[in-house]
């Protein structure tokens, strides 16, 4: 009896949620038709992002409503014509598929999934080999981003003499309702490589690592930064190995005093452009820091099987001799490392998204 009441309560709660989402969607449609909303770029972007989030849910709900009506009609006619009994069976199967899609769409989700992303790759243990691996990771992501027809913008980079990256930070912008952060956020963590480095003369396999940080690209209105909390330093930009020093102090380094976060940008010619890019990176870092602190608090009660904010966690190994890639969070293994490095990341990303969805659905079920 108690279980039945809990199930009924859960069904009623979901019904109320879907009703409110449909109402919100209709209101957003009205706002998107309002020229005043589009006059405010930030507001227009926020409304458009939320509309894109709700559109697939409302589409599925509308489809379900039509299927339910068709099923009732088919069942009424089945007593007079046997052909309608087959049609009813088909509609039942279609309705079950739509219900499954709705469960996935209505599962608790990260509100930042619909945002663009900012990624940072840093070389770690392994010296020059680690910097070369950081370059390989960047090229892998660049090819994947290109395959998704997203755009990539390098915000800051520091190269080594051999062409590797000590660090590189870049922004990823989606198109339409395809948002980069929801796909790329699982890339955050320590990536380990096992191979014979180009700097190795004896042919021995070395292990090195590079760190990846993935952050939502937030609007300036989402994170308010007090100018008095910033220390801004300007200096001359430099190329690989300290070469190509500019003649003007265009590079910008910003220190956020309360958090101790330091960001820098030297890729643009203008000091103002570098400052804007650095502030963009700082907003993303502050958002990631807040999420990390919230996740640490929540982990005392429950720890998700797919973690995205712990940058010290080794998440993946790239084994060149065996052409093998392994993601340690979900037990994923495949012997197609060459294809993955060529940008074929989607199967791995999909596996991570499915594992995360299963975890969120399990949590939602426990909460009912």
* Cα gap 194→317, rounded to integer Å: 7
Question: Of the candidates 56, 74, 106, which is a domain's last residue?
Answer: 106
**Phi, psi dihedrals of residue 225, rounded to the nearest 5°:** -110, 125
Question: Of the candidates 106, 131, 166, which is a domain's last residue?
Answer: 106
* Cα gap 136→98, rounded to integer Å: 41
Q: What pLDDT, on the 0 to 100 scale, is given for residue 137?
A: 97
State whether 125 and 61 are in the same domain: no
Domain count, the chain: 2
State whether 147 and 165 are in the same domain: yes
Residue at 206 is within a domain: yes
Residue at 367 is within a domain: no
Q: What pLDDT, on the 0 to 100 scale, is given for residue 147?
A: 95
State whether 191 and 301 are in the same domain: yes
pLDDT in tens, 166-219: 999 999 999 766 789 999 999 999 999 999 988 776 778 888 999 999 999 988
Tokens describing residue 291: 């999420």
What range defines the domain where residue 255 resides? 112-361
Q: What pLDDT, on the 0 to 100 scale, is given for residue 300?
A: 47
Question: Of the candidates 106, 128, 153, which is a domain's last residue?
Answer: 106
CATH of residue 339's domain is 3.30.70.1660
Q: What pLDDT, on the 0 to 100 scale, is given for residue 7?
A: 45
The vertex-132 CA angle with 129 and 138, nearest 5°, equals: 145
Residue at 368 is within a domain: no
Q: What pLDDT, on the 0 to 100 scale, is given for residue 299?
A: 54
Instruction: Give me the residues paired with residue 325 across strands.
Output: 318, 334
State whether 246 and 265 are in the same domain: yes
* Cα gap 279→307, rounded to integer Å: 26
State whether 43 and 145 are in the same domain: no
State whether 169 and 74 are in the same domain: no
State whether 44 and 154 are in the same domain: no
Q: What pLDDT, on the 0 to 100 scale, is given for residue 110?
A: 82
State whether 71 and 210 are in the same domain: no
Residue by residue, pLDDT tens for the chain (368 residues) are 444 444 444 455 566 777 888 888 899 989 999 999 888 888 888 888 888 888 888 999 999 999 999 999 998 888 787 778 889 999 999 999 999 888 888 887 888 888 999 999 999 877 899 999 999 999 999 999 999 999 999 999 999 988 999 999 999 999 766 789 999 999 999 999 999 988 776 778 888 999 999 999 988 777 888 889 999 999 877 654 444 445 567 889 999 999 999 999 988 778 888 999 999 999 999 988 888 777 776 554 444 444 444 445 789 999 999 999 999 999 999 999 999 999 999 999 999 999 998 888 887 666 55
Residue at 336 is within a domain: yes
Residue at 88 is within a domain: yes
Give residue 172's region: left, alpha or beta (phi > 0; psi -120 to 50).
Answer: beta
State whether 307 and 162 are in the same domain: yes
CATH of residue 96's domain is 1.20.58
Kindly give, in sequence order, each residue whose CB lies less than 8 Å from that of residue 198, ignoring residues fewer than 6 positions away: 129, 132, 162
Residue at 159 is within a domain: yes
State whether 315 and 173 are in the same domain: yes
How many residues comprise the chain? 368
Q: Which of 319, 305, 299 is nearest to 355 (CA)?
A: 305
Residue at 17 is within a domain: yes
State whether 264 and 315 are in the same domain: yes
Residue at 366 is within a domain: no
State whether 123 and 95 are in the same domain: no
């Amino acid at each position: 009896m108690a279980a039945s009441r809990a199930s009924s309560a859960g069904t009623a709660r979901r019904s109320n949620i879907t009703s409110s989402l449909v109402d919100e969607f209709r209101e957003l449609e009205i706002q998107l038709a309002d020229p005043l909303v589009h006059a405010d770029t930030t507001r227009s972007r926020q409304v458009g992002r939320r509309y894109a989030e709700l559109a697939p849910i409302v589409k599925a709900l509308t489809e379900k409503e039509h299927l339910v009506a068709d099923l009732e009609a088919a069942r009424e006619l089945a007593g007079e014509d046997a052909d309608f009994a087959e049609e009813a069976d088909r509609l039942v199967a279609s309705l079950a598929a739509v219900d499954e899609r709705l469960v996935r769409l209505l599962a608790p989700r990260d509100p930042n999934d619909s945002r663009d992303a900012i990624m940072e790759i840093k070389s770690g243990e392994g010296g020059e080999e680690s910097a070369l691996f950081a370059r390989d990771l960047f090229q892998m992501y660049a090819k994947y981003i290109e395959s998704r027809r997203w755009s990539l913008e390098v915000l800051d980079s520091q190269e080594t003499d051999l062409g590797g990256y000590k660090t590189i930070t870049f922004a990823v912008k989606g198109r339409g309702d395809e948002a980069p952060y929801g796909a790329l956020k699982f890339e955050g963590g320590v990536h380990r490589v096992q191979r014979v480095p180009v700097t190795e003369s004896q042919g021995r396999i070395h292990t090195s690592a590079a760190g990846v940080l993935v952050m939502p690209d937030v609007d300036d209105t989402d994170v308010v930064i007090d100018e008095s909390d910033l220390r801004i330093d300007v200096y001359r930009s430099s190329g690989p190995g300290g070469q190509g020093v500019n003649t003007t102090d265009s590079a910008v380094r910003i220190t956020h005093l309360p958090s101790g976060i330091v960001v820098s940008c030297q890729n643009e010619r203008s000091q103002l452009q570098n400052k804007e890019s650095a502030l963009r990176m700082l907003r993303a870092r502050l958002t990631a820091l807040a999420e990390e602190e919230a996740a640490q608090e929540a982990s005392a009660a429950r720890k998700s099987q797919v973690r995205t904010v712990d940058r010290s966690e080794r998440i993946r190994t790239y084994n060149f001799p065996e052409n093998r890639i392994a993601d340690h969070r979900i037990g994923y293994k495949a012997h197609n490392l060459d294809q993955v490095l060529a940008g074929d990341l989607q199967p791995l990303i999909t596996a991570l998204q499915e594992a995360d969805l299963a975890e969120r659905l399990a949590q939602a079920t426990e909460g009912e």
